[in-house]
Amino acid sequence: MGFFCGTNRSIAPGDYVSRTKHVMSTTPLIDGHNDMPFLIRIELKNHIYDKRFTFREGLLSPTDLIKLRTGGVGGQFWSAYMPCDDRVADNFNTPTDLLRDTLEQIDVSKRLFEEYEELEFCRNSSCVMPAFEMGRVASMIGVEGLHQIDGSIAAIREVHELGVRYITLTHNCNNVFATSATHVAAGGDDYGLSSLGRAAVFEMNRLGLMVDLSHVSIKTMEDVLQITRSPVIFSHSNARMVSDHARNAPDHVLRMLPRNGGVIMVTFVPRFVNVQDPDAADIAKVVDHIFHIVEVAGWDHVGIGGDFDAIAVYTNGLENVSCYPQLIQAVMARGATDEQVRKLLGENILRVWRANEEIGQILRECGEKPWEDVWEHRTWRRSNLVAPQMFLGSEKTRIRRPNGLP
């Protein structure tokens, strides 16, 4: 029996089960997006000490510790997600609870990591492999949309300080920073990245905070890839050429990834996998997406972002987090070598994260200051108390009191 380069020589090339076990035992599968913290909010109002939350013993939903272990998950980006608020659709000055609720989702994620020793909270990329080698799931936090930070670059800095390591520029709504794919799919104009959005990208680069382009419009993708100093991620998106859904990335964007160094992490949401027949979405179709991305962008630019716990029905054969080995076996059956599979599993996203950290450190060491840009239409508020004057002429530019006086 022959063997081929890139495969463990003690395992036959066609023994996909053994090859998968070997590769996943030595390289962490790092998934880019899981919405379990939001499901905890829905089901338990974030009360993780409730006796009904049998995370260690097993849950009906797609994610629990038993399934994570069975699925060989070595790292997970958990989403601190809150949905778009219709109240701000036409006026971004409208007060909302989104930033408060986002902080609560960050909090419940961190309490989850603290409560379960099987999870290891990782604030930097160098934490992942030691956690994996100790048999723990390296656990990171992403925020799924800049609508959640109230249009404030200062708030980006603060959630980063709390441990957030990527932010999706939009969710299913526009915000002051960027245009969403959903807005364009509904017939809206594609404005791309705003001037404030450019500043937000630069600030995220400075912080070493990964920019996530899932959910954004095509022009936003293009605009970001033209200006970012750091590699980007798509935390849970597919190839539009395989499934023509607005949430997926077109080929000309995929071709921009090698120069940027970024990664697109293939997701299992049925309508993104097979827009024409979501009920028929299966592992083979997901593998089609992986290999199309590889054909266009290369093995250095593909990863996995299942988006589990976000919806009720998933792709056939990928119903929960225990199913990753079957996906990897199917990728090997298409001809992928062990080295290529390692990149898909976690090496690519780790490289991107590490590059963001290194570039951010360089920018800070070179003296780049925090970006102070604000939305040009922002409403500033203060009380009617008379404030002292800091410098001459300030009465012309300072924030006015509610009575209109300086």
Could you list the active site residues? Answer: 33, 35, 144, 171, 215, 236, 307
Q: Let me know the angle formed at the C-alpha of 78 by 73 and 79, rounded to the nearest 5 degrees.
A: 145
Question: Which one-letter amino acid corresponds to residue 222?
Answer: E
Nearest to 73 by CA among 117, 120, 24: 24
Looking at 283-405, list the stretches that DSSP marks H as alpha helix, in order from N- to C-terminal side. 283-297, 324-333, 338-342, 348-365
Please count the other Cβ atoms lying within 10 Å of the Cβ belonging to residue 252. Answer: 12
H-helix or E-strand spanning residue 129: helix 128-133
Tokens of 145: 């949309």
**Is residue 232 within 8 Å of residue 262, measured between CB atoms?**
yes
Mark residue 46 as left, alpha or beta (left: phi above 0; alpha: psi -120 to 50; beta: remaining). left
Pairwise CA distance, residues 57 & 310, whole Å: 21
DSSP 99: H
Q: Which DSSP string do the residues of 91-104 spell out, in sequence order? A: -TTS--SHHHHHHH
